[in-house]
């Protein structure tokens, strides 16, 4: 993700709500895909420095400060494009839930930023019940019985179904998420990663199912008509396929073609976001700037010059070597602990082609 500039010239960042230099309020304008400073005009409206148009704060920005996106002044919606996608939010009466929800919203907005830059369709399920996108942030339901014994009444499974992405609130709790990562034997588990993965299921329905891409999808990923429940049970009973590293981008990707696609999709979003960030900071490899796949080559204004996937991937390999080396120098795990096989590379290329081939 790139940084932005306040009208005073100070560098500001995607989550910011105020410029620390001039103290002007900031807000993200989805239709411009930019963060803007705002001043108050003679009528008391908030006027964006980037385009001179008037806006108001999203209701979740104004009231709860868990959002920093703006709504056009003439838009009848109380909520911004991001918050309109919410169908269930956590119980804010429970201590700590507001902070966990804030983390969920921050990850969701970062996902949506990349989707907007890639010109992916974003619409809520109320406006379009058939193909819209929604989010449900839920927590396991427990009750206290027999003194200190907690009985789980309902487990919340993170997943996607019919356009609705459900995220277990526990995934926003860093300690719980790390504990789950260790339990599952995973090398990588992040809140943003969950959003990217589950969005892959949604966009498979939007971009691949019933499209001319389906035959090529089946050649690369396998037949998605394979019984999903049986595949899931087999994976958790017997583990990933033997030598999965030679075919799949992750162990979980070996479970079913849908999960292979979702994992590959998530990795592609990892790539484009991180490469854009590297370009923002003018990171170079052998004296050449890293490819900027979003703001230079996939820009929403149709003036970009498309860069090849090979170029993107070569830069990604160079960048991840540096990222992993820096993390090791600080005593941390690798930032990107994956090795991309030829098979996984072909699947990443396919994701790139699907996104680039949108009408």
**pLDDT at position 191 over 80:** yes
What mean pLDDT comes out for the span 28-43?
Answer: 94
Contact 176, 170 (CB under 8 A): yes
| Strand-strand pairing, 86-88 and 134-138 | parallel
pLDDT above 90 (res 198)? yes
Low-confidence winner among 179-193, 260-274, 299-313 (lowest mean pLDDT)? 299-313
Band of the pLDDT at 282, cuts 50, 70, 90? confident
d(CA 135, CA 165): 5
Dig out the tokens for 350 from the structure: 């396919």
Better pLDDT: 42 or 197: 197
DSSP string for 29-72 = ETTTTEEEEEEE-TTS-EEETTT--EEEE-HHHHHTSS--BEEE
Are residues 104 and 172 in contact, defined by beta-carbon separation less than 8 angstroms?
A: yes
* Phi, psi of 202, deg, nearest 5: -60, -45
Strand arrangement, sheet containing 34-40: 26-29, 34-40, 46-48, 54-57, 70-72
Q: Tens of pLDDT along 264-277?
A: 999 999 999 999 99
Quickly state the pLDDT bin for 291 (edges 50, 70, 90): low
- Predicted local distance difference test score (pLDDT) of residue 155: 85
Residue 218 binned pLDDT confidence (cut-offs 50, 70, 90): very high
For residues 98 and 100, what is the distance between their CA atoms, to the nearest angstrom? 5
Average confidence score pLDDT of the chain: 90
- Residue whose structure tokens are 């918050």: 83
pLDDT at 302: 35
How many CB atoms sit inside 10 A of residue 236's CB?
A: 10
pLDDT at 305 over 50: no
pLDDT in the model for residue 153: 65
Judge whether residue 259 has pLDDT over 50: yes
Region 4-33 average pLDDT: 96
Split at pLDDT 50, 70, 90, the class of 186 is: confident
Q: Averaged over 154-178, what is the pLDDT?
A: 94
Q: Is the pLDDT of residue 306 over 60?
A: no
261 or 153, which is more confident: 261
Assess whether pLDDT exceeds 90 at residue 293. no
Percent of the chain scored above 90 by pLDDT?
78
Per-residue pLDDT, 150:
58
By C-alpha distance, which of 261, 250, 87 is closest to 167?
Answer: 87
Mean pLDDT of 10-32: 97
Q: Write phi, then psi, for 206 (nearest 5 degrees).
A: -80, -40
Cα 339 from Cα 233, distance rounded (Å): 26
Instruction: Reduce the DSSP state of residue 275 to 3 states and report it.
Output: helix
Task: Average the pLDDT over 46-52 and give the result.
Answer: 96
Confidence (pLDDT) at 281 = 85
pLDDT reading at 298 higher than 60 = no
SS3 151: strand
| Residue 38 reports pLDDT greater than 50 | yes
Give the per-residue pLDDT at 295.
Answer: 46
Q: Give the mean pLDDT of 220-246.
A: 94
Residue 207 to residue 159: CA distance in whole angstroms: 19
Tokens at residue 222, please?
């396998």
């Amino acid at each position: 993700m790139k940084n932005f500039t306040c009208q005073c010239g100070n560098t500001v960042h995607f989550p910011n709500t105020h410029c620390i230099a001039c103290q002007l309020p900031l807000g993200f304008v989805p239709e411009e895909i930019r963060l803007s400073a705002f001043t108050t005009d003679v009528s008391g409206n908030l006027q964006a420095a980037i385009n001179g148009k008037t806006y108001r704060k999203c209701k979740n920005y104004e009231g709860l400060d868990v959002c920093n996106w703006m709504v056009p002044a003439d838009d009848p919606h109380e909520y911004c494009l991001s918050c309109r996608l919410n169908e269930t939010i956590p119980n804010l009466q429970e201590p700590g839930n507001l902070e966990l929800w804030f983390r969920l919203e921050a990850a969701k907005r970062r996902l949506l930023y990349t989707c907007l830059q890639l010109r992916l369709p974003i619409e809520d399920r109320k406006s379009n019940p058939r193909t819209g996108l929604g989010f449900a942030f839920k927590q396991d339901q427990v009750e206290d019985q027999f003194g200190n014994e907690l009985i789980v009444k309902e487990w919340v499974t993170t997943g996607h179904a019919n356009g609705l992405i459900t995220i277990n609130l526990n995934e926003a709790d860093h300690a719980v998420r790390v504990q789950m990562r260790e339990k599952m034997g995973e090398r990588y588990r992040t809140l943003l990663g969950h959003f990217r993965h589950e969005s892959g299921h949604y966009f498979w329905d939007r971009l691949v199912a019933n499209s001319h891409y389906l035959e090529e999808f089946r050649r690369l990923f396998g037949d998605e008509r394979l019984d999903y429940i049986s595949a899931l049970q087999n994976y958790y009973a017997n583990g990933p396929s033997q030598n999965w590293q030679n075919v799949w981008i992750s162990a979980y990707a070996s479970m079913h073609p849908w999960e292979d696609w979702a994992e590959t999709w998530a990795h592609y979003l990892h790539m484009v976001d991180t490469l854009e960030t590297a370009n923002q900071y003018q990171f170079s490899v052998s004296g050449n700037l890293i490819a900027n796949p979003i703001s230079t080559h996939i820009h929403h204004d149709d003036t970009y010059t498309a860069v090849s996937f090979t170029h993107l991937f070569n830069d990604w390999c160079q960048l991840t070597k540096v990222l992993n080396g820096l993390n090791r120098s600080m005593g941390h795990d690798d930032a990107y602990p994956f090795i991309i096989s030829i098979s996984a590379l072909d699947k990443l290329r396919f994701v790139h082609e699907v996104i680039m081939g949108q009408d």
